Amino acid sequence: MNKPILNVKNLTMSFGGLKALDDVSISIEKGQIAALIGPNGAGKTTFFNCITGIYEPTKGVVEITPPGKNTQSLRGLKPNYVTERGIARTFQNIRLFHGMTVLENVMIGRHCRLSSGIIKAMLQPPSQKNEEQKAVTDSYEILEKIGLEKYVNDMAVNLPYGAQRRLEIARALATDPFLLLLDEPAAGMNPQETKELDDLILWLRDNENLTILLIEHDMKLVMSLSDWIHVVDYGKKIAEGTPEDIKANSDVIKAYLGDESDDA
Amino acid sequence: MAIKNQIKQSLIIAFWFMILTFPIMVIKVNTIRHTIDFRWANLVGVGIVTFFASMTWNYFLRRNEDQKKKEMDDDIPLIHRLLQNDRFRRPFLGVVAAFFLAYPFVFPMYHTSIMISALVYVMLGLGLNIVVGLAGLLDLGYVAFYAVGAYAYALLNLHFGLSFWVVLPISALLGTFFGVMLGYPVLRLRGDYLAIVTLGFGEIIRIVLENWDSFSNGPRGIGDIPAPTFFGHQFNQENTMVYIYFIVIGLVLMTIFFVNRLENSKIGRAWIALRDDEIACQAMGIDKFKTKLTAFALGATWAAMGGVVFAAKTSYINPMSFTIWESITILCVVVIGGMGSAIGVIAGALVLILLPEYLRAVSEYRMLVFGALQVIVMVFKPDGLIKSVRKVYTFNVQEKAIHEQTNT
């Protein structure tokens, strides 16, 4: 059997006395759309932050096996190196670069795939010009795929909300990832936009050979989209399985709706 | 109703000012006759002036807000529209070039000298613009690098007899070196903390220069710094000024050229990303430390070159030229000119440095007018005189088709 593309074992993250994540193990197979769900404050975003290097986990193993490459550990790497290894993410609260145009936002994603340094930027030899031109066309193509090409020279901050969310995905795509982490991509979207997002995520999996892990509260989206669902509550993993398994799982229902005996 | 409210508000303000200025404007102690004079006329004057000033202020403030609502999107400064339009671009640049070329021959030496100072500030402003405007790192000790450049020329010339043209690249490298030296330990700081540490660094350099007598000659400074030569030829005083003027023009052009290229390159975009959102910037694969360090180092490089020119022009330097106020002035140039906007910074430097010189006629109120102008700019144009505009990329469908063909 193939090794899982992302293998997280016994991940623990403590902030002082608080264990935001407690012994969580999750593995994701290539080509999967996996979802990470759980009530508010369950530690989902902390999990993302631990993988992408924004936090260094207190304990545990974070390993990736990029397609056609050897297994390597991500633990303790800075966020930019994690991105270079091929993991891209979006943010729960949109974090676009306001002072830049839509195209430049995507070009930032190309950053770690470009090689020209300061001297080259100042002297602009042909190699740098070609690379720059290619970055522009590549970024534009990504915008076309995501369906944002009409905004290409607009300032990112002026975009409609749904488009901003999509731009975050476009920017993440520009880093050439094999694994895409989406943190609540549908938050604040209307049903129409959610439907389009649904299509986009499926399209990304099928046409860009991406593996996707998403955090989402929109259960309809999660259930229709995911191949495999992981559930966390109070920093602990309480269940995993197919959408059908999860729907029927009593622990999950208890985590979301509360235990009847608790109410007394 | 709005008018009525405004009159009421202005009346209150006028009344408040009358009370506030009462002790200095109305009461006057006559020390000879040992009496107190009450100048009631002044009180009325203050009231009337404040009332009308407040009314005009409010009027402009409201007009400004109305305009903002109208032109939210296509709010591109006039000068950018001029430069983007091919028909105006060449004549406009031609006029600007002609003006600056003719300047030293038309105006007397005094004016050339002032213009050199202003142009040095253009260089400093563009350098600091990298650090503050693009990378968003508030640096209050920028003058330290200016001092490094000036003292590098003065000392290397004093001890080793090195000429201006030899020292210029050396000091640029020294500036870069000091930029890295300062940048490295403060990389983890941001915002207010960074500002405080850089402020401290700026003062350290000045205090070292003031007290390390055997090295820098202390507060007496270093004199007799030679002016630059033209292939070994030394001009007379007046021509030297013209010569330095053109050197500065050349350096400014070089600065604009390189900074413009940097701004629209991989590293320039990384700076702006860092300014806009540090976490997202790292998550996009940008090395935060490297990016900050290059911003600091490159900013310092231009400050050091500016310092060499300054030393060559004044032929005498001492630590008093490199106080915190100098840093503040350069920062004002960047902020009032327009953060991140090269044209804005140039305009800011020319206005902020030339204006005080020509306001010497009303020297008593010079700083008052200067301060008032800064407040007005910040209220009505918070993005600066000329705000920055990002590069617009055009997409030629045909070109794209060719690109795709070559790919497949």
Domains in chain B and their CATH numbers?
A: 2-70 (no CATH), 79-380 (1.10.3470)
| ipTM, interface predicted TM-score of the complex | 0.88
Range of the domain at A115: 96-160
pLDDT in tens, chain A (264 residues): 578 889 999 999 998 888 888 889 999 998 899 999 988 888 899 999 999 988 999 998 898 888 888 888 888 889 989 998 999 999 988 899 988 889 999 999 888 888 777 888 888 888 888 888 888 988 999 999 888 888 888 888 888 888 999 999 999 999 999 999 999 988 888 888 899 999 999 999 988 889 999 998 888 888 988 999 999 998 889 889 998 888 888 888 888 877 665 544
Shortest distance between the Cα of B279 and any Cα of chain A, in A, equals 8
Q: A253 with A185, same domain?
A: yes
DSSP letters for A17-36:
TEEEEEEEEEEE-TT-EEEE
CA distance B161 to B163: 6
State chain B's maximal CA–CA distance in angstroms.
100
B155 to chain A, closest Cα gap in Å: 29
- The answer to whether the Cβ–Cβ distance between B284 and A158 falls below 8 Å is no
Residue A229 belongs to some domain of the structure: yes
pLDDT confidence of residue B104: 86
**Does A150 share its domain with A181?**
no
Pick A108's closest partner by Cβ from B262, B265, B273.
B273
Q: Which residue of A has its CA nearest to B291?
A: A118
Residue A77 lies in a domain: yes
Are B285 and A132 inside 8 Å of each other by CB? Answer: no
Selected for mutation to probe chain A from B72, B284, B383, B405 (highest A CB count within 10 Å) is: B284
Co-location of A249 and A228 in the same domain: yes
* A80 vs B267, B282, B403: nearest CB: B282
Count of structural domains within chain A: 2
A171 has a chain B CB within 8 A of its CB: yes
Residue A165 lies in a domain: no
3-state secondary structure chain B: CHHHHHHHHHHHHHHHHHHHCHHHHHEEEECCCCEEEECHHHHHHHHHHHHHHHHHHHHHHHHHHHHHHHCCCCCCCHHHHHHHCHHHHHHHHHHHHHHHHHHHHHCCHHHHHHHHHHHHHHHHHHHHHHHHHHCCCCCCCCHHHHHHHHHHHHHHHHHHCCCHHHHHHHHHHHHHHHHHHHHHHHCCCCCHHHHHHHHHHHHHHHHHHHHCHHHHCHHHCECCCCCCCECCECCCHHHHHHHHHHHHHHHHHHHHHHHHHHHCCHHHHHHHHHHHCHHHHHHCCCCHHHHHHHHHHHHHHHHHHHHHHHHHHHCCECHHHHCHHHHHHHHHHHHHHCCCCHHHHHHHHHHHHHHHHHHHHHHHHHHHHHHHHHHHHHHHCCCCCCCCCCCCCCCCHHHHHHHHHHHC
CATH of the domain at A29: 3.40.50.300
- A80/A12 same-domain check: yes
pLDDT at position B75: 62
Contact B277 A122 (CB under 8 A): no
B-chain CB neighbours of A124 within 8 Å are 261
Q: Is the same domain home to A188 and A82?
A: yes
In a domain, A154, yes or no: yes
Chain B, 321-360: which have a CB under 8 Å from a chain A CB? 340
pLDDT of B134-191, one tens digit each? 998 999 999 999 999 999 999 999 999 888 899 999 999 999 999 998 888 887 887 7
Q: What's the pLDDT score for residue B71?
A: 58
Residue A79 lies in a domain: yes
| Strand segments (E) across B319-404 | none
Whether residue A239 is contained in a domain is answered as yes
